[in-house]
């Protein structure tokens, strides 16, 4: 008997057990890591200690010599929340953005390590307008593109962001700026319109696209639409299956991590703003994300955060994310669990 046949034959019996809400074939997870062994996987509302259950309620260790596995998923329910609407308290995975930004995603709740303030975690280009914002700027939920209006829909204010280094920014070298000013002084004297501008030509790689928005705890909740509350963090691994909940494509699953050390660029942030990033996570699956999903939290199948979505390809077959530990450490924040 094949694995698929065994799953089909016994799934009704397994679904009849209390606490079991789904049966599928999938890779077995051992010690928190996916191993290359297919098994019959039971989705349960809650993992319970074996000694608290009757023998007939237990999922057997093997079925027809095929291994089994158990994944806790909570209760199953249809999600009817409009992710582009105004919500108070607001779950994560919904629309939000800086006053001057069209739309992005409220990824997760963070706690500032320095002050204990509660914040929405998102991208720099969503919450800080790609470096052009000021600390304290208003952040709307929903975002402007989804009907958010100032001041009625302000949910918080920019607390912190990690600046993005863009390619060909005006140079910061004092000598270069002084020479440019000296040259331009004489060109103005002779009536020439030619101007010299010092440009930073050496490429500088970024690690994260990150920002945090201070909010009142009463206005938010840590549940991510379609996923629930994150269970913690884990390192992103090759071949790991992941999920996310974003403003545009909502809850998507089945993405697979195909790169964990990618250097990518130029990533376009609009006219004249291109940036390079190193040590990035690549997720392969067509339609896993799209424009407006920026800021979404990337989680593994067990609900542990592994990355922070910030970009993707034009063909929408890859998604790019920062490593979660870099994102949190540079923001000096922790997940609210």
Residues 164-213 pLDDT 10s = 999 865 444 555 455 455 545 554 555 555 444 444 445 799 999 999 99
**Separation of alpha carbons 265 and 244, rounded Å:** 23
pLDDT of residue 200: 47
What are the strands of the beta sheet with 211-215, ordered from one edge? 104-106, 94-98, 138-140, 154-161, 211-215, 118-122, 108-112, 333-335
Which residues contact residue 148 at a Cβ distance below 8 angstroms, ignoring those fewer than 6 apart? 86, 95, 96, 97, 140, 141, 142
Would you say residue 155 has pLDDT above 70? yes
Average pLDDT, the chain: 89
**Separation of alpha carbons 130 and 98, rounded Å:** 10
CATH ID of 224-335, from 2.40.10.10, 3.90.245.10, 2.40.50.140, 3.40.50.10140: 2.40.10.10
Is 3 buried (19+), middle (13-18) or exposed (0-12) by CB count in 10 A?
middle
Rounded to two decimals, what is the model's pTM?
A: 0.71
pLDDT over 70 percentage in the chain:
88
Domain layout of the chain by residue ranges: 3-72, 224-335
Least confident of 187-196, 229-238, 297-306: 187-196
pLDDT of residue 217: 97
Would you say residue 277 has pLDDT above 80? yes
Residues 34-70 pLDDT 10s = 888 899 999 998 888 888 889 889 999 999 999 999 9
> Region 309-330: what's the mean pLDDT?
95
């Amino acid at each position: 008997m094949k694995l698929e046949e065994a799953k089909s034959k016994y799934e009704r019996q397994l679904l009849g057990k209390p606490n079991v809400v789904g049966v599928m074939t999938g890779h077995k997870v051992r010690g928190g890591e996916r191993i290359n062994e297919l098994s019959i996987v039971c989705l349960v509302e809650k993992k319970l200690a074996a000694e608290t259950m009757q023998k007939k309620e237990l999922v057997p260790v093997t079925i027809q010599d095929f291994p089994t596995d158990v994944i806790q998923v909570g209760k199953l329910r249809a999600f009817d929340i409009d992710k582009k609407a105004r919500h108070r308290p607001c779950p994560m995975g919904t629309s939000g953005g800086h006053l001057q930004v069209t739309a992005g995603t409220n990824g997760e709740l963070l706690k500032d390590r320095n002050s204990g303030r509660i914040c929405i975690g998102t991208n720099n280009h969503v919450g800080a307008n790609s470096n052009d914002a000021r600390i304290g700027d208003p952040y709307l939920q929903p975002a402007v593109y989804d009907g958010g209006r100032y001041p009625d829909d302000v949910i918080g204010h920019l607390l912190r962001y990690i600046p993005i280094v863009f390619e060909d920014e005006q140079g910061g070298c004092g000598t270069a700026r002084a020479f440019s000013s000296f040259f331009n002084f004489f060109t103005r004297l002779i009536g020439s319109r030619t101007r010299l501008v010092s440009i930073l030509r050496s490429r500088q790689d970024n690690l994260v696209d990150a920002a945090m928005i201070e909010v009142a705890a009463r206005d938010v909740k840590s549940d991510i639409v379609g996923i629930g509350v994150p269970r913690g963090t884990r390192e992103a691994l090759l071949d790991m299956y992941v999920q996310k909940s974003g403003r545009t494509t909502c809850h998507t699953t089945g993405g697979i991590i195909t790169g964990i050390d990618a250097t990518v660029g130029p990533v376009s942030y609009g006219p004249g703003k291109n940036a390079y990033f190193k040590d990035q996570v690549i997720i392969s699956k067509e339609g896993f994300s799209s424009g407006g999903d920026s800021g979404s939290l990337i989680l593994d199948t067990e609900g542990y955060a592994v990355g922070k979505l910030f970009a993707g390809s034009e063909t929408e077959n890859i998604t790019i994310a920062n490593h979660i530990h870099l994102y949190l450490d540079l923001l000096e924040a922790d997940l609210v669990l």
